[in-house]
């Protein structure tokens, strides 16, 4: 249970672009998760800017459960979605890393031994794995939203807009401080 809390915290921070300083990520498990989320963010076709701002997802829903007036049944369903997101994200990252590794090995062969079809296959496999990592998140975010009733959706849209404005403001502050 504690690992899930750590994952959720790091996951939402990665999605919102708030990097965790290495000093706070001293625990090995945390460092692994931070790396996984940074990897996710780098390989998801700008998921955060294009999709997350409108659909922050089930973890965000849980963080805002009181404001959204979630019922116990909705909370349970949102937790289930978060668990699925974690599983699929970790699977996607593992697969993408494996496809990059296969490509690296195949591409490092001497010119006389390079098989063009194999390299093309590797590149396409990387594309499929990266696309999976980008789109596997979408159903969880949409399903989380669909759990809400009409009045909750109204609150959600207002909170999501405020959330995105805060993220944008913080991002600009981080850029200016560098």
Q: Is the pLDDT of residue 24 over 90?
A: no
Return mean pLDDT, the chain.
78
Between residues 163 and 177, the one the model is more confident about: 163
5, part of any domain: no
Task: Work out the number of other CB atoms within 10 angstroms of the CB of residue 155.
Answer: 14
Whole-prediction pTM = 0.67
> Directed axis angle between helix 72-107 and helix 138-146, to 10°?
170
Q: What is the mean pLDDT of residues 117-135?
A: 89
Q: Which residues form the domain of 96?
A: 37-177
52, part of any domain: yes
Angstrom distance (rounded) from CA 60 to CA 82: 10
pLDDT in tens, 40-56: 666 556 666 667 777 88
pLDDT in tens, 70-119: 999 999 999 999 999 999 989 998 999 999 999 999 989 888 777 888 99
144, part of any domain: yes
115, part of any domain: yes
23, part of any domain: no
32, part of any domain: no
114, part of any domain: yes
The total domain count for the chain is 1
């Amino acid at each position: 249970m504690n690992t899930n809390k750590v994952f959720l915290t790091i996951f939402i921070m990665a999605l919102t672009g708030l990097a965790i300083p290495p000093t706070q990520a001293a625990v090995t498990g945390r460092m692994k998760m931070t790396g996984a989320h940074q990897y996710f963010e780098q390989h998801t076709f700008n998921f955060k800017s294009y999709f997350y701002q409108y659909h922050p997802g089930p973890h965000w829903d849980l963080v805002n459960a009181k404001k959204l007036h979630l019922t116990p049944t909705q909370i349970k369903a949102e937790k289930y979605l978060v668990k699925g997101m974690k599983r699929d994200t970790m699977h996607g990252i593992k697969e993408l890393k494996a496809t990059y590794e296969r490509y690296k090995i195949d591409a490092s062969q001497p010119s006389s031994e390079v098989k063009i079809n194999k390299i093309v296959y590797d590149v396409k496999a990387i594309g499929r794995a990266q696309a999976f990592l980008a789109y596997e998140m979408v159903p969880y975010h949409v399903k989380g939203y669909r759990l809400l009733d009409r009045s909750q959706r109204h609150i959600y849209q207002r909170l999501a807009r405020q959330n995105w404005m805060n993220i944008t403001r913080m991002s600009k502050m981080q850029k200016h401080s560098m």
